[in-house]
Structure 1
Amino acid sequence: MNKKELGSAGEDFAKNYLALDKYSILKKNYRTRFGEIDIIALKGKTVYFFEVKTRRSAAYGYAEEAVGRIKRKRIAGTALRFINENKALGSYNMAFMLIAIQISGGDIAIKMVPMN
């Protein structure tokens, strides 16, 4: 499995994980000139913007270390664009989350952490 296939598989896994946890998936791979958001979901009165990082090993660092300040800034700009295009969501809270997926052998570990 190459890097792109691994990323796509991780995003699909994350989408299914969120659906099982009662999130409504609004959009996958939302792109603007500012950047891309892997998954946009709704739960209660909060719109969640998820960045998904998938790793086969920690050799290149943990997934949660892979989202730097510039990437977070791009995600925020892209999220504002999404809210501007979807005015009905303007009064909702917004949350920015990282879904870190670690695949090791046949085991899959998933962790959701806030992006600050």
Structure 2
Amino acid sequence: MGAQTARRRQSERLGRLAEWLAAAYLVATGHRILARREKTRFGEIDLIAVRRRRVAFVEVKWRRNFDQAGPPVSARQARRIASAAEAWLWQHPALRDHEIGLDCMQLAPGRLPRYYRNLLQPV
């Protein structure tokens, strides 16, 4: 196994851990998880959760620390996530009348999660 393959596997493991921790945080704050790693023709949505009448499409980001520069996601990623969310909603018409949020959660070792509501509005 090459070094690049090992790094990719490690990144995948950290990503799955981050998604699990993000889901636990959302449940602890009153959300119900509707889907994890949901695939659409536009891409994958890390987490889909509902709380009251708001459906949150959550992009999860693991960081070594919160001081890493730059936005959590690019404008292109935000558009992809918005398209994937729209496609998912077409498959779940009962939720179309809910408020929709394109959110982001950042996690870092030894830190509480940072949850950003409506951060990913497409540009």
For residue 30 of structure 1, the aligned residue among 38, 46, 60 is 38
Q: Distance in 2 between matches of 1:84 and 1:2?
A: 34
Q: Give the letter aligned to residue 68 of structure 1.
A: S
- Which one of 110, 113, 116 corresponds to residue 116 of structure 2? 113
Identity of aligned residues (%): 28
C-alpha separation between the residues in 1 aligned to 2:58 and 2:46?
Answer: 6
Q: Give matches, 1:92-107, under 5 Å.
A: 92-103=98-109, 107=110
1:69-102 Cα distance to aligned partner (Å, 9 max, x none): 0100000000011110001011111011100001
Structure 1 outlier segments of 4+, above 2 Å: none
Q: Name the CA distance, whole Å, in 1 between partners of 2:95 and 2:89.
A: 6
| Count of paired positions | 111
Is 1:71–2:74 an aligned residue pair?
A: no
Q: Which structure has the highest strand share of the two?
A: 1
Task: State how far apart, in whole Å, the 1-side matches of 2:96 and 2:107 are.
Answer: 30
Unaligned 5+ runs, structure 2 = 1-8
Which stretches in structure 1 are left out of the alignment for 5+ residues? Answer: none
TM-score (norm 2): 0.83
Instruction: Please name the residue that 1:88 is paired with.
Output: 94
> Normalized against structure 1, the TM-score is what?
0.88
Q: CA RMSD in A?
A: 1.7
Residues in 2 aligned to 1:2 and 1:34: alpha-carbon distance in whole angstroms? 25
Counterparts of 2:66 and 2:94 in 1: how far apart (Å)?
A: 41
